[in-house]
Amino acid sequence: MTNVRITPWQNGEPAPTGLVEGIHARRPGGKLIGIDRVLLKSVPLATGWNDLLGRVRSEFELPLEYRELIMCRVAVLNRAEFEWNVHQPAYLAAGGTQAKCQALREEGIASLFDEAEATLLNVTDQSTREIEVDAVLIETLKGMFGERQTVEAVATVAAYNMVSRFLVALAI
């Protein structure tokens, strides 16, 4: 984090104890990472961010492997290496493969993704690059996952676009 454009929050600086503990609890190994320390410069932002992303990461019905697939693809599309470095191992741990990780970094959808993964990646690409997502593609997603998981898939794309834009803008 040597080129970060905001001085990261440091241990001992003012912050609500419950908030810092909540962020620690959400992180694997309980360790604050770069984005956490920048978010803590704004308590309201860090509070809302931790709650929203905590729910996306742990409470959605959409399977974790699919959520991590989306997160990794968003990181690639938005050139957010910090995000990739956090979510690529999580994707592997959730059931992704190294070959699929490599394919995520390439243009087009590789044949090694099944129909559900390819549909999720198409939604991710359209939403991230074009903002608008084709209605037929959303209907296809609904047919595969139902309305709740479709909402969760689109929300995952949106949430991690927010994450990547924050990371890239502040050079985290």
The alpha carbon of residue 158 and the mean position of all alpha carbons in its chain are separated, in whole angstroms, by: 9
Q: What is the CATH number of the domain that holds 141?
A: 1.20.1290.10
Under 8 Å between Cβ of 168 and 35: no
pTM, entire model:
0.94
Count the domains in the chain.
Answer: 2
Low-confidence ranges of the chain (pLDDT < 70): 1, 108-109
Please report whether residue 93 resides in a domain. Answer: yes
pLDDT value of position 108: 67
Please report whether residue 143 resides in a domain. Answer: yes
**110 and 144 part of one domain:** yes
**73 and 153 part of one domain:** yes
pLDDT value of position 106: 87
Tokens 């990547």 belong to residue: 164
Q: How far apart are CA 172 and CA 152, in angstroms?
A: 26
**68 and 147 part of one domain:** yes
**49 and 95 part of one domain:** no
User: What are 44-87's pLDDT values in tens digits?
Assistant: 999 999 999 999 999 999 999 999 999 999 999 999 999 999 99
For 51, the domain range is: 17-58
